[in-house]
Amino acid sequence: MHFPLINLLAPILRPQAYLDPGSGSFLIQLLIAGLVGAGFLIKTYWKKIKGLFSRSAPKKEDDSNIEQ
Amino acid sequence: MTVTSNSDKRLGASFRDSSGFLFSREGVLYRQVNLIYREQYDQLISSKLYAKLVYAGWLVPHEEVNVEPDEPDLAYKVIKPNPVQFISYPYEWSFSQLQDAALATMAIQKLSLEAGMVLKDASAYNIQFLNGKPVLIDTLSFENYHEGDPWVAYRQYCQHFLAPLALMAYTDIRLSQLLRVFIDGIPLDLAAHLLPMRTRYGLGLGTHIHLHAAAQKRYADKAVKTQTTRKMNKLSFMGLMDSLESTTRKLSWKPAGTEWGDYYAASASHYSPSAFEYKKQTIVRFFERIQPGITWDLGANTGEFSQLSTSRGSLTIAFDIDPAAVEKNYLLTKKNKETRMLPLVMDFTNPTPSLGWHNRERHSLLDRAPADALLALALIHHLAISNNVPLPLLAEYLHDLGHWLIIEWVPKEDSQVQKLLANREDIFLGYHQDGFEVAFGKYFNVHEKVAIIDSVRVLYLMEKR
């Protein structure tokens, strides 16, 4: 019954991915991410809108003194 | 063919990930980066992610060195990370230490995403406290981000960080000790079972712990196919990270009603102000004489006496059995930006054992000894009387833990010892000052012996024989 759902998963396992992500963890992660993705978008835009109305410019990380 | 030196030693915790491993040679710690990890390592450096993380204090700095690799056939590079002076483990951390380690992991994940990379693991053991701050010590924890992929370390983050933090916050602070038993983090079904019902209905723990545990149970033993059209877009990925971060941040624990929380406030009952001050001055004088690099305070409480050694430049590991005292000490350390104090939870009647594969993955406390100096103030009666440890055994143990020993003798007449003996028979015939001196004299040379004025206690400065 739930095999089609399992087929939706895509653990692309490269050699570096040494952890077993776990089937259930993979599945639920897709579901939760789907749920929170929209909320995150709204949150990000809301922050930007708030930023437009606040006096101080939004903080930007200064990485000028970071050397490679 | 390469001849490797006899002193080469591959570290016991460094075997899971094929990207590389740690080895020590002539007492210096190196990390071999394997060819298999070449692309990711180069990306870490060229994307400036390495520089950004080091600049932000999130990643241990390293230098590439021209040293013979331990396994040359596999090797791409050898790097020498800045040494971590004292390794500690999540089951020794207080609530806020584990929470800060979790938030550090998420902060690193965020910066990595900006550089087109992602953490491929989220192990609490990859975080160490360096100069008072949680830092990632595994330089090979990064992989390239491929849009569409879920987070491979999601389960690990939940087991290593979210589950223990939720249990400490909602059920009992002592459940951090489950991390000692479960080396790869607390199983989520167990966490779900132990957490109060109400945590099911919150969006954060409700999904990342409860729903997650249910999904694991349902899809256990079921293989997953690698071909699919369904992927996780970057926005959803970032949403998931944001959700994990805010769920972690919202958890809180406030120490209340613990035995030792207000120890110093109550200390007036067995120390007059002049005795307290005299004790402090004597200890300062001892520290100035011995100048230790690393000090272990074996019963530090909230760290009042540990500060005497940090302020003299000694890295001080401030152990206490009480998670509330350790939490208070950590929060104070953080507030004061103290870089030389590391508060840790430790029960000296049952100190951290060696754990994990071959019992070599996580070190026992004894493996991490010796310290340059031990501070054992108001401790001896707890071990000798509450835990029935005979004085000769206590002397032998402390001899194994450190070179110098500053120890306070607390005689039976002391009000604190009287308290311990109030409801039990006094079977401690050998617990007297002569017995103490004989027992410790076998393992230590006594350099100074100072009776604390206005008190029955005596301070000793001893050096290992």
pLDDT in tens, chain B (465 residues): 334 444 568 887 778 889 999 999 999 999 999 999 999 999 999 999 999 999 999 999 999 999 999 999 999 999 999 999 999 999 999 999 999 999 999 999 999 999 999 999 999 999 999 999 999 999 999 999 999 999 999 999 999 999 999 999 999 999 999 999 999 999 999 999 999 999 999 999 999 999 999 999 998 877 765 445 468 899 999 999 999 999 999 999 987 755 545 555 555 457 889 999 999 999 999 999 999 999 999 999 999 999 999 999 999 999 999 999 999 999 999 999 999 999 999 999 999 999 999 999 999 999 999 999 999 999 999 999 999 999 999 999 999 999 999 999 999 999 999 999 998 899 999 999 999 999 999 999 999 999 999 999 999 999 999
Q: Is residue B204 part of a domain?
A: yes
B221 and B272: one domain?
no
Q: Is residue B320 part of a domain?
A: yes
B217 touches chain A (CB under 8 A): yes
Is B259 contained in some domain?
A: no
Same structural domain, B239 and B270:
no
CB atoms B150 and A7 under 8 Å:
no
State whether B24 and B119 are in the same domain: yes
What pLDDT is attached to residue A1?
Answer: 39
Q: What is the domain extent for residue B376?
A: 265-464
pTM for the structure as a whole: 0.91
Q: Are residues B198 and B343 in the same domain?
A: no
Same structural domain for residues B438 and B341?
yes
Helices B323-335 and B95-114 meet at what angle, rounded to 10?
A: 50
Q: Do residue B226 and residue A13 have CB atoms under 8 angstroms apart?
A: yes
Contact B175, B185 (CB under 8 A): no
Q: For residues B29 and B40, what is the distance between their CA atoms, to the nearest angstrom?
A: 22
- CATH number (domain holding residue B374): 3.40.50.150
B138 HSE (CA, 13 A, CB side): 23
CA distance B195 to chain A (A): 19
Write out the residues of chain A at the interface with chain B, using a CB-CB cutoff of 8 A: 2, 6-19, 21-41, 43, 63, 65-68
Do B235 and B270 have their domain in common?
no
Q: Is the ipTM of this complex over 0.95?
A: no
Looking at the structure, tell me whether residues B35 and B183 fall in a common domain.
yes
Identify the CA nearest to B377 among candidates B263, B216, B290: B263
Same domain, B208 and B280: no
Asked if residue B260 is part of any domain, the answer here is: no
Residues B203 and B338 in one domain: no
Would you say residue B257 lies in a domain? no
Give the nearest partner residue to A26 out of B150, B214, B238, using CB atoms: B150
For B425, the token pair is: 């028979």
Give the span between the Cα atoms of A23 and B95, in whole angstroms.
Answer: 30
On whether both B400 and B440 belong to a single domain, the answer is yes
From the list A24, A30, A66, the residue facing B150 with the nearest CB is A30
A36 φ, ψ (degrees, to nearest 5): -85, -15
Inside any domain, residue B112? yes
pLDDT band at A26 (very low <50, low <70, confident <90, very high): confident
Distance CA B170, CA B191 (A): 11
Distance from CA of B351 to the nearest CA of A (A): 30
Q: What pLDDT, on the 0 to 100 scale, is given for residue B377?
A: 96
Task: Give the count of alpha carbons within 13 A of B52, CB side only.
Answer: 20
Point out the domain boundary residue: B220, B252, B284: B252
Could you tell me if residue B188 is inside a domain? Answer: yes
Q: Does B76 touch chain A (CB under 8 A)?
A: no
Distances (CA, A) of B465 to A41, B287, B367, B399, B449: 66, 19, 20, 8, 17
Whether B248 and B357 map to the same domain: the answer is no
Is there a contact between B227 and A16 if contact means CB atoms under 8 Å apart? no
Residues B167 and B303 reside in one and the same domain: no
Over the range A26-54, which residues count as b (16 or more CB within 10 Å of their CB) and which as e? bbbbbebbebbbeebeeeeeeeeeeeeee
Q: Give residue B230's pLDDT.
A: 62
CATH number for B169: 1.10.510
Hey, is the C-beta of B155 within 8 angstroms of any chain A C-beta? yes
Q: B158 and A25: CB-CB below 8 Å? A: yes
pLDDT exceeds 70 at position A57? no
Alpha-carbon gap, residue B394 to B408, rounded angstroms: 13
Instruction: Indicate the residue of B146, B225, B233 with minimum beta-carbon distance to A6.
Output: B225
Does residue B436 fall inside a structural domain? yes
d(CA A45, CA B392): 67
With CA atoms as reference, the chain B residue closest to A29 would be B150
What's phi and psi for B75, nearest 5 deg? -80, 140
B252, B277, B312 — which closes off a domain? B252
- Give B208's contacts in chain A (Cβ within 8 Å): 32
Q: Which of B223, B252, B281 is the last residue of a domain?
A: B252
Residue in B with minimal Cα distance to A2: B219
pLDDT in the model for residue B229: 47
Nearest CB neighbour to A29, from listed B17, B18, B154: B154
Number of domains in chain B: 2
Q: Do A68 and B233 touch (CB under 8 A)?
A: no
Give yes or no for B210 touching A (CB within 8 A): no
The answer, for B63 touching chain A at a CB cutoff of 8 Å, is no
